[in-house]
Amino acid sequence: MKVFVIVDMEGISGICVRGQVLNGDARYAAGRKYLTWDVNACVEGCFAGGVESVVVQDAHGGGHHFLWEELDPRAEYIQGATGKERMPDIGSFDGLILLGYHAMAGTPEAILEHTMSSANWQNFWLNGRKTGEIGIDAAIAGERGVPAIMASGDDKACREAEEFIPGIVTACVKTGLSVQGGRLLSAETAHKLITACATEAVQKAEQIAPVKIEPPVTARLEVVSRGRLPVRGEKPYVRIIDGRTYEVTADSVQQALDRL
């Protein structure tokens, strides 16, 4: 069995303020350490569950946040830009783990909630359903027949994953109290939970169905600020809804994101 782990940073255990995920902030060094610890706990759980191969992708920002020299040597790691394919070669894997994910933009009391870009994206819908990054990435993998089998993050992110992906295993490592505050598990407890959930997830992967968004896929985006819509006529597949909202229709979720 091969498992692909895609990693964000806002939902990592121990992280609850914006500075921990921003390069240049004094708290960022600690955030990188917490990120690497969660990755290693997840890799440990995957191999304990009997997988043969694990690939872990750093998908936060530019993708350069792991402490490379401290990573579990049994896995392989993707860092930096991946071109147009959000999860390279995802179709060759048997399961996807969403590690350190956060709730979608606008979720009350969710730690560091946003969807793709807190500066630019207000709301996002796939075929009429409001969707965050958990749903987006599960759907991209699902198009290739790969189920999202586990997610970790705060309680709101875990609830969102459970609502979008029936049967998914969730590791709730913190409870959100505000956008920059929460009640956190200890490092030891959080890491044990992630390891146990990863083991459970890989062992029940065949019981979890891939997320399927039936084509044609319509992706609608409401931006934060006016003046950020595509220029009319520049992209003929774009439909302007109002001064801050537009949509595209495509054959797949990945293509729709590319068109946005």
CATH code for the domain of 60 = 3.40.50.10780
Q: Is residue 7 part of a domain?
A: yes
Average pLDDT, the chain: 96
Flag residues of the chain having pLDDT under 70.
Answer: none
Q: Which of 172, 171, 177 is nearest to 155 (CA)?
A: 172
pLDDT one-digit tens code per residue, 79-95: 999 988 899 999 999 99
Structural domain count of the chain = 2
pLDDT for the residue 227:
76
pLDDT for the residue 231:
80
Q: Are 144 and 91 in contact (CB under 8 A)?
A: yes
Which contacts of 88-91 are long-range, i.e. CB under 8 A and separated by 24 or more positions? 88/57, 90/4, 90/140, 90/141, 90/144, 90/146, 91/144, 91/145, 91/146
pLDDT for the residue 165:
98
Let me know whether 184 and 77 are in one domain: yes
pLDDT for the residue 90:
98
Let me know whether 223 and 99 are in one domain: no
Q: Give the predicted TM-score (pTM) of the model.
A: 0.97
Q: Which of 235, 236, 102 is nearest to 172 (CA)?
A: 102
Q: Which domain holds residue 240?
A: 217-259
Let me know whether 103 and 42 are in one domain: yes
Q: Is residue 212 part of a domain?
A: no
